[in-house]
Structure 1
Amino acid sequence: MQTATSVLTHAAQAVVKHVTTPLKPILKASSSSSSSSVLGTRKTRDDAELDDESMDGSQSPRKRQKVEFDLNNIEVHEIGVRSVEEVKQEIRKALDEHDRGEDEEYDVLKETLSGKQKFLYDDEDEDADPTLPEKRRQELKVYLVALSSFTPRLGRSASGLVKSVLRCQWIGRDEQFARIYTQFLASLVSAQGSCLTQVLSTIVEKFSHSRPSDWAVANFSTVPRQVAQERLHFALRYLLRIFPAAKSVLTHLISSKYPYHDDSKRMHLAYVQNLLRLRTYSPELQNDIMDLIISRLVKIDVEMQMDLEDMDDRLTTMVAMALKSSQANGNQEEEDDDDDDDRDSVSSEGSEDDEYTRVKTAKESIEKMDFILDALFELYNPLFSDPQSDQAMEVFGDLLSEFSNIILPNLKSRHTQFLIFHFGQLSEELVDAFCGTCINIAFESQRPPVLQQAASAYLASFVARGAHVPGHIVVKIFEVLGYHLDQMRTLYEASCRGPDVRRYAPFYSLMQALMYIFCFRWQDLIRSVPDDVDKDDLSTYLDQDIDWEAEIKDIMRRNIYSKLNPLKVCSPVIVEQFANLAHRFRFMYVYPLLESNKRVRLSQYSVGAYSSGGGLRDLSFDMNDESWQQLDSYFPFDPYQLPISKRWVEQDYLQWRPIPGLNSDELDESEEDGLGGEDEELQEDTATDDELGGDD
């Protein structure tokens, strides 16, 4: 069997050290102590990584050279009451007796190494030596140094002892202890490779710790969060350097240890912060880390939206009040606060416990989304300092991959996609990259129809709402979508008997996308206007002979008046707004078609189980309600309302601009019937806006 020294020395050949001042051993030899003991003959530069590198990971720029790492050569002195040799004898005896089935000493050793054992001595000893309390407090260091010599014996039969050591709360002690503990972990993994996952797991599970009480140790000074994280990542970085195979193990662990969706906001934020820190010194894991964060963020996003949609107005008002109260308090997160302190900002008086729980859960989900997205915007922002650089394009390529594989398939995602909305507008090259990705997905025949429709919605929403998307790109995208719309119409009309959303959904999604773009970007689709039109006064465009870009009118006319009859199937809100604008701009007059569509029953053209209507009658469906046979007005870049992180996108967003006088004539009568609010509905047609009180 290989010794701990030989295995660890071999594993550390690739570890480099800084050539700096002469190194000092972790446990310095005391020149005045006659009881000093030496565990072997330590080489002069035995612990380059631990001594040269500070806990915050700073490194010397000087040239580095390879060194051997030999844990059997550690100079020590009596930190505690007993020497290393005495403790080694105690450990050897406990292990020998354990091998014979006698566990009394072994159990005491487990308790000691867990960090919970209290060393008891006579009061006279303390009176004679006032330094004894400090020595007793530090004696666990001696145990760890001594135990390093026995790591080859810490196999399966000593798994209980290993578990006890790994349960030791080492982060909350002093810095010297943290270094010794890190060194012991390296020795353990070197001698017992099967312990690698166990060791890494004990580190990663601390990623979600956020309060000093999570790592506090009695009789030790409080360790601030920043220092605790530095120690945690110092140990992890050190192990990753010595054991390259640890990276593949770590990939699985960071996923399995990720907090559950209903865990506290504090745990989620701490975990994400630690993942982002891990990303800085482990480039091989960068993509895996970002994929993990984005995927979990989307899950929170989707669940949050579903929870809000299930709430009535009273509960959503309570959520809004709770959020405002939290913002008024500055979102302060005192270290010693309990998770339940949020109760102060959610009025539960007169409410049932389950209502309070629903409100609290929704509030925490929104805050999780908000803080994590704000951290991601902060992370990516410097990488796009030059949005035309190769670096920016490479990073955006990673974002596009996450968008295609994680965000796009989740149709209820409401906020996560704004990462790509913000950074995708920083240059024309980035705009083109995102639009190209959406077009490829929307028109690849092997893609599932639901993804094709989602890609069309993302493209339309991006072009319509992106304040920095140039006008000529808007025209180009409109023409490209129009070309594909004509292709679909030609394909579908041969078998079409009438409007049917189930059979021709891709066509209707694309038609709805074009109408949506027209409603928001109609000015960019204009080639020229009469001289009396003032571009800053939108009302002057009304009832004018406008010259539109080539093919724009023909594209819309060919497809609107086709057998597929898209105005019957597309979202009524968008259809009505398009009809109104198209009429007042003398673009197209579709009101006669809308009137005739009122006499068209979609059920007569539907295919599938419910085409006869029998199943719907059995389920108590209203046969006069055709909304289930029409498209939803799904456009994923609806107004962004998360209170903290919205600062990143406020200048990116093209708000709906009402046109004075637009509804003054033909829609006055409709307004009395409750249809006049469509402008506002088009602008604020999101669960978050309606349910959380909009922009105020």
Structure 2
Amino acid sequence: MSVKSSSRSRSQSSTPSSILKRPKTLTSRVSEIQNKPSKVTFVLPHTQKVKSIFSNYIQNGESREYEQLVIMIRDAKLTDNDLSSLLKEATECISVLDQNLRLFVEALLAVQWIDKGPEVVSEYQSFIVNLLSAHNYHAKMVIDRLVKLFLPNPNDPDWPDGIPTDQDCSKCINVHALFNLLLVVVPMCQDILVSSIYSQFPYYNRSTHIHEYYIHNLLWILDYRQNLRPDILSLIFSKLLIMDVNAPREEIEKYLNADENIFTMDEDSKSVRSSTTAFTQVNRHILAHTLDICLDKVFNYFISECHDAQSGELVWEKAKKLYLEMLPIFDRIILPTYDMHHVQFIMFLMTCFKTTIAEAFLNYLWKKVCNPNGAPVLRQAAVNYIASLVARSNYIPLAMVKGTLQQLAEWIHSYISSQDGFEYVNSDVRMHSVFHSVCQALFYIVAFRHKDLVESKKNIVFLQSLNMAKMVTCRLNPLRVCQPAVVQNFAAVTRKYQLAYCYTVIEHNSRNTLPTIYQDEKGAIIMSNNTLNTFFPFDPFVLERSGKKIEPFYKEYQEAEESNEVEMKETSDADDDFLYNEASTSSKNKSQQFSYGSSPGFKFK
């Protein structure tokens, strides 16, 4: 062979192949993606070597195998056998799982374990308890991760009738069993747990099921940690209060009266059912539905906690303890909040358990009213609770109603006497706000409970002894300041039973309606119409599911029947005749008039 030919042959055989691969078709690429497994199957290559991996990492700084182990735990799909084997090896290495091996601990905490088999769950719980017993440094990380399990998948549907599914119940049992062990073995976990459930409570605009699931688990904690009840109930009511003030009763009633589903989703951003805040858009009807479900769960807890599971009878010691724990929560969270709609009914529910609780609650509120060192706004709120509870509850006996009226009347007359000693009485409504609120409370109770109070001559004599005529004609003129609906209904009752004649004063006040202009502490000019800015907390409860717990104990308004025209013509007061004729033209709307927007309302649904 010639050199030339051999050279040519050698050059042909040594020619490098092209570095460009033959392009793949789209079909072949799709086939590769479809056939590629979405998750790698976990195969532990370090059997009985986890401890040596840790040792090499800590002592020699060899991080490659350690990082591979962490990545494998984090990204692989673990079977029950794999996870059980890994947990057993990790348990044998508890002594070295300090801050340096935090990544390994985080990877194990991220493992989905609550729906595994009983053996794996037991191994996992044992590992966590041993870990925190030896290294409390990891306590906050572990507790935060466990509390996150109180939040379900956002796409999960609501529980039917608020009852957890068997699958969810099984998951919750595993988490709470671990919490119960941790709180016994590592007492410092208790404070961390309280802090964690506060920080991870769902934002009020989250879905109904997320709130339902989370509150269900918080109440579950109380089964094995009663000492945490004040903290947990305080958290729950403070969060429900935010929902309550953002879901007004008027908005709900408007759609109930229109026979619409108040919980229908509305995607229109301009809808009156939605409210846009600085951060988010709130659908008020979805929020009201969430509040309804959550309140129903809380009401169920209070009922079951205070009653025997078998007989259904009240367990007095438990009810008394729960009531005393609720008072500070009511005092700190509920009482100072204006214009709530439903959350405060927890106190209504508790007072219906036993008359003794109702009496204690009324005495507690009355002490606040009589405290001259208390803030006027809180004293006014307290007397509004008294009036609303006495008027709306059908379980409070008549003797207690009369006792409340007697207390109110004595205080009012004492206040009037103290002001009569002055030559000039300050006409500024703000100076006598508590007095006017107490007067309005008495007027409100008389108007609501008048049928019970006039059943016998003895009761009518009692009403006469209250000397209501002096109240309405005193120089402080409470009829000018009280809510018009309360004044009109009180006037109708007192005229019918000749307890006081209010219409002359009402007519005089109607001719003197000049507003008061004053400057507040910040220098702003404010115009006031001289009417009490108040609300009655136990106005109609309009939420459907939770309202079923309230309805059997709730009293609706029964308006007074007006005297007939023959009786009225015998009245010598011309002003009264004029006012009666004016009032009679709208008598058919009397209940609607007394059912004004901010309270009091008279239709339960």
Q: Does 1:109 align with 2:77?
A: no
677-686 vs 571-580, which moves further = 677-686
**Aligned counterpart in structure 1 of residue 106 of structure 2, from 163, 173, 197:** 163
Q: How many angstroms does 1:352 deviate by?
A: 3.8
Aligned equivalent of 2:375: 448
**Aligned counterpart in structure 2 of residue 670 of structure 1, from 567, 582, 590:** 582
Which digits, 9 at most, give the CA deviation of each residue in 1:240-291, with x for residues without a partner?
Answer: 1211222222122221121111111111110110011111011221222222
Secondary structure of 2:319 counterpart: helix
CA contact (8 A) 2:151 2:210 kept: yes
Aligned partners of 1:569, 1:689: CA distance in 2, in Å?
A: 19
Which digits, 9 at most, give the CA deviation of each residue in 1:25-49, with x for residues without a partner?
Answer: xxxxxxxxxxxxxxxxxxxxxxxxx
Q: Which structure 2 residues correspond to residues 189-338 of structure 1 after superposition, within 5 A?
A: 189-209=132-152, 224-305=167-248, 316-317=254-255, 323=261
Aligned partners of 1:444, 1:226: CA distance in 2, in Å?
A: 49
Describe the shift of the 1:323–1:231 C-alpha distance in structure 2 as closer, same or farther (beyond 3 A).
Answer: farther
Aligned partners of 1:559, 1:659: CA distance in 2, in Å?
A: 21
Aligned partners of 1:602, 1:448: CA distance in 2, in Å?
A: 28
Describe the shift of the 1:236–1:212 C-alpha distance in structure 2 as closer, same or farther (beyond 3 A).
Answer: farther
CA contact (8 A) 2:265 2:286 kept: no
Q: Does 1:520 align with 2:448?
A: yes
CA contact (8 A) 1:291 1:402 kept: yes
Q: How many angstroms does 1:420 deviate by?
A: 1.7
Q: How many angstroms does 1:507 deviate by?
A: 0.4
Aligned equivalent of 1:595: 507
Q: Quick one: which amino acid aligns to residue 179 of structure 1?
A: S
Aligned equivalent of 1:185: 128
Q: How many angstroms does 1:655 deviate by?
A: 0.8
Aligned partners of 2:106, 2:271: CA distance in 1, in Å?
A: 39
**Aligned counterpart in structure 1 of residue 432 of structure 2, from 501, 504, 513:** 504
Aligned equivalent of 2:317: 390
Secondary structure of 1:677 counterpart: helix
Aligned equivalent of 1:571: 483
Which digits, 9 at most, give the CA deviation of each residue in 1:12-69, with x for residues without a partner?
Answer: xxxxxxxxxxxxxxxxxxxxxxxxxxxxxxxxxxxxxxxxxxxxxxxxxxxxxxxxxx
Which digits, 9 at most, give the CA deviation of each residue in 1:487-544, with x for residues without a partner?
Answer: 33334455654542211100000000000001011234348349xxxxxxxxxxxxxx
Aligned partners of 2:581, 2:111: CA distance in 1, in Å?
A: 75
CA contact (8 A) 1:499 1:565 kept: no
CA contact (8 A) 2:391 2:449 kept: yes
CA contact (8 A) 1:295 1:406 kept: yes
Q: Quick one: which amino acid aligns to residue 72 of structure 2?
A: T
Number of matched pairs:
534
Aligned equivalent of 2:20: none
Q: Gaps (5+ residues) in structure 2?
A: 1-41, 158-164, 276-280, 569-576
Aligned partners of 1:210, 1:273: CA distance in 2, in Å?
A: 15
Aligned partners of 1:223, 1:101: CA distance in 2, in Å?
A: 47
**Aligned counterpart in structure 1 of residue 461 of structure 2, from 540, 544, 548:** 548
Q: Which structure 2 residues correspond to residues 33-48 of structure 1 after superposition, within 5 A?
A: none
CA contact (8 A) 1:574 1:633 kept: no
Aligned equivalent of 1:60: none
Aligned partners of 1:106, 1:369: CA distance in 2, in Å?
A: 48
Q: Quick one: which amino acid aligns to residue 158 of structure 1?
A: L
Q: Quick one: which amino acid aligns to residue 444 of structure 2?
A: Y
Secondary structure of 2:246 counterpart: helix
Describe the shift of the 1:150–1:576 C-alpha distance in structure 2 as closer, same or farther (beyond 3 A).
Answer: same
Q: Quick one: which amino acid aligns to residue 528 of structure 1?
A: S
Aligned partners of 2:460, 2:272: CA distance in 1, in Å?
A: 56
Which digits, 9 at most, give the CA deviation of each residue in 1:359-379, with x for residues without a partner?
Answer: 972122212221222122222
Aligned equivalent of 1:642: 543
CA contact (8 A) 1:641 1:688 kept: no
Which digits, 9 at most, give the CA deviation of each residue in 1:72-110, with x for residues without a partner?
Answer: xxxxxxxx9669xx5341453255236655533222211
Aligned equivalent of 1:340: none
Aligned partners of 2:257, 2:195: CA distance in 1, in Å?
A: 36
**Aligned counterpart in structure 2 of residue 411 of structure 1, from 338, 350, 367:** 338
CA contact (8 A) 1:110 1:164 kept: yes
CA contact (8 A) 1:638 1:683 kept: no
Secondary structure of 1:412 counterpart: coil
374-383 vs 462-471, which moves further = 374-383
CA contact (8 A) 1:453 1:506 kept: yes
Aligned partners of 1:524, 1:548: CA distance in 2, in Å?
A: 13
Q: Quick one: which amino acid aligns to residue 367 of structure 1?
A: H
Q: Does 1:92 align with 2:45?
A: no
TM-score, with normalisation over the residues of structure 2? 0.79
Secondary structure of 1:446 counterpart: coil
Q: Quick one: which amino acid aligns to residue 317 of structure 1?
A: Y
**Aligned counterpart in structure 2 of residue 400 of structure 1, from 315, 327, 344:** 327
CA contact (8 A) 2:408 2:442 kept: yes
Q: Quick one: which amino acid aligns to residue 219 of structure 2?
A: L
Q: How many angstroms does 1:402 deviate by?
A: 2.5
Q: Which structure 2 residues correspond to residues 464-543 of structure 1 after superposition, within 5 A?
A: 464-494=391-421, 497=425, 499-526=427-454, 528-529=456-457
Q: Quick one: which amino acid aligns to residue 492 of structure 2?
A: N
Aligned partners of 1:292, 1:82: CA distance in 2, in Å?
A: 44
Describe the shift of the 1:118–1:299 C-alpha distance in structure 2 as closer, same or farther (beyond 3 A).
Answer: closer
Q: CA RMSD in A?
A: 3.4
Describe the shift of the 1:598–1:528 C-alpha distance in structure 2 as closer, same or farther (beyond 3 A).
Answer: same
Secondary structure of 2:223 counterpart: helix
Aligned partners of 1:470, 1:584: CA distance in 2, in Å?
A: 24
Identity %: 24
Aligned equivalent of 2:591: 679
Aligned equivalent of 1:141: 84
Aligned partners of 1:476, 1:680: CA distance in 2, in Å?
A: 30
Q: How many angstroms does 1:452 deviate by?
A: 0.4
Q: How many angstroms does 1:223 deviate by?
A: 8.4
TM-score, with normalisation over the residues of structure 1? 0.70
Q: Does 1:656 align with 2:538?
A: no
Q: Gaps (5+ residues) in structure 1?
A: 1-79, 120-135, 215-221, 327-344, 531-545
Describe the shift of the 1:580–1:391 C-alpha distance in structure 2 as closer, same or farther (beyond 3 A).
Answer: same
